[in-house]
Amino acid sequence: SQQGEEDPQALSIQEGENATMNCSYKTSINNLQWYRQNSGRGLVHLILIRSNEREKHSGRLRVTLDTSKKSSSLLITASRAADTASYFCATVDRDDKIIFGKGTRLHILP
């Protein structure tokens, strides 16, 4: 079963534009994590945001968390060709159970 549902499933934008992807979940969480996976490669951790946090930044990445709406968003500013990848959210619930979403496939157009 998958708790996190990313939206949109696929996104194509021009290089230099901002990309926003969303994640919705169903149960109370301990934290929410975002990962990136380049084609045919392993997953790389991007940001972890805890349930008592509302926003975190890391370089060109900004993650928000709204626990009342059970949703999170990942914003990538000034996108680059190297940002082309699949992005997954993963929730860790109160029992430390982790569930990944199906991902958003981001394509940066030159």
Partner 1 sequence: EAGVVQSPRYKIIEKKQPVAFWCNPISGHNTLYWYLQNLGQGPELLIRYENEEAVDDSQLPKDRFSAERLKGVDSTLKIQPAELGDSAVYLCASSLSSTYEQYFGPGTRLTVT
- Residue 33 found at the interface with partner 1 (CB under 8 A): yes
Smallest distance, partner 1 to C-beta of residue 85, A: 13
Residues 69-98 close enough to bind partner 1 by CB under 8 A = 88, 90, 92, 96-98
| 58 burial level (CB within 10 Å; 0-12, 13-18, 19+) | exposed
- How many residues bind partner 1, per CB under 8 A? 23
By CB under 8 A, name the one of 21, 101, 106, 108 that touches partner 1: 101
Distance CA 72, CA 21 (A): 9
Distance between CA atoms of 80 and 34, rounded to whole angstroms? 18
Q: How many of the other CB atoms lie within 10 Å of CB of 72?
A: 25
Rule CB under 8 A: which residues touch partner 1?
Answer: 2, 4, 30-31, 33, 35, 41-45, 48, 88, 90, 92, 96-103
